Amino acid sequence: MRYLILSDIHANLQALEAALASAEGKYDEAVCLGDVAGYGADPCAVIEWTRKHVKQIVRGNHDKACAGLDDLEWFNPVAKASALWTRGLLPPADAAYLRELPRGPQRIGDFDILHGSPADEDEYLITLQDAAFAAPHVRAKVSFFGHTHVQGGFLLHRNGIKRLGRMKSDAASLELTLEPDSGYLVNPGSVGQPRDGDPRAAYAIYAPGERLVTYCRVPYDVAGAQKKIRAAGLPPLLADRLAEGV
Ligand code: ZN
């Protein structure tokens, strides 16, 4: 069994299509770590694809916001504007789908999927210290998380915690072989709004039988996604940042 691990698609249809085209034939089942909606201009098309093709999913903070489960008190003005725009657009069935998404962590076979941290679905795992605080809550040898939009993650070993390797900007993939005596918090990166300085869409493939995670990056039609965001009247920053991957 090989899994396509998608996270933080954020209503970016151009990025999702490029990721799916590049992953075609390399996986058996798609899973999603949340934030299907919010920020981007194509929530309906992205939710439609997710409803049809993703069996295992956890909710993200933007899914909750777009479904009306969050009062947006802690959202910044740009995130709030996009959540309200999305709320106004979603048909009832799509809103209901987002509202009913399960909270992470969720177990699939021998691994967990979650949005933020194993302790709190809305918490960010950014620093080694964040990972150290989260470590006692980790339940599986491999946990996939998102939320930060930064591809990589952390290796948990009895001797300490290390950051997992970063892919070079001219590479399309990076393989990570899982060692039996370590635990892993793996972030596939964001499909639709990368924030690690690489504007390409990010995802990962996990092959448990081979103990192999493959991080992937693929260029997509950034200009097309930007055009739709601007035409929708969403905050222009949401279009601008896609070009830099920040
Ligand atoms: Zn997100």
Q: Is 199 exposed, middle or buried (0-12, 13-18, 19+ CB in 10 A)?
A: buried
> 174 C-alpha vs ligand 1 centroid, how far in Å?
22
> 90 C-alpha vs ligand 1 centroid, how far in Å?
18
Range 49-59 burial, b when 16+ CB lie within 10 A, else e: bbeeebebbbb
Q: Is 19 in a helix, a strand, or coil?
A: helix
> 148 C-alpha vs ligand 1 centroid, how far in Å?
7
Q: Is 66 in a helix, a strand, or coil?
A: helix
The helix (H) or strand (E) run that includes residue 65 is helix 61-66
DSSP string, 195-242: -SS--SEEEEEEEGGGTEEEEEEE---HHHHHHHHHHTT--HHHHHHH
pLDDT given for residue 112 in this prediction = 98
Name residue, tokens 């001219």: 170
Whole-angstrom distance, CA of residue 104 vs CA of residue 60: 9
> 122 C-alpha vs ligand 1 centroid, how far in Å?
10
> 159 C-alpha vs ligand 1 centroid, how far in Å?
31
The helix (H) or strand (E) run that includes residue 92 is helix 92-99
Whole-angstrom distance, CA of residue 190 vs CA of residue 9: 6
> What region, left, alpha or beta, does residue 60 occupy, with left being phi > 0 and alpha being psi -120 to 50 degrees?
beta
> 37 C-alpha vs ligand 1 centroid, how far in Å?
9
In tens digits, what is the pLDDT along the chain, a chain of 246 residues? 999 999 999 999 999 999 999 999 999 999 999 999 999 999 999 999 999 999 899 999 999 999 989 888 888 999 999 999 999 999 999 999 999 999 999 999 999 999 999 999 999 999 999 999 999 999 999 999 999 999 999 999 999 999 998 898 899 999 999 999 999 999 999 999 999 999 999 999 999 999 999 999 999 999 999 999 999 999 999 999 999 999
> 203 C-alpha vs ligand 1 centroid, how far in Å?
13
Whole-angstrom distance, CA of residue 174 vs CA of residue 203: 11
> 177 C-alpha vs ligand 1 centroid, how far in Å?
26
Output phi, psi for 198, to 5 deg.
-115, 110
Please state the three-class secondary structure of 68-87 as a single string. Answer: CCCCCCCCCHHHHHHHHHHH
pLDDT given for residue 236 in this prediction = 96
> 112 C-alpha vs ligand 1 centroid, how far in Å?
18
pLDDT given for residue 235 in this prediction = 96
Q: CA separation (Å) from 236 to 39, 58, 118, 164, 242?
A: 10, 29, 33, 33, 11
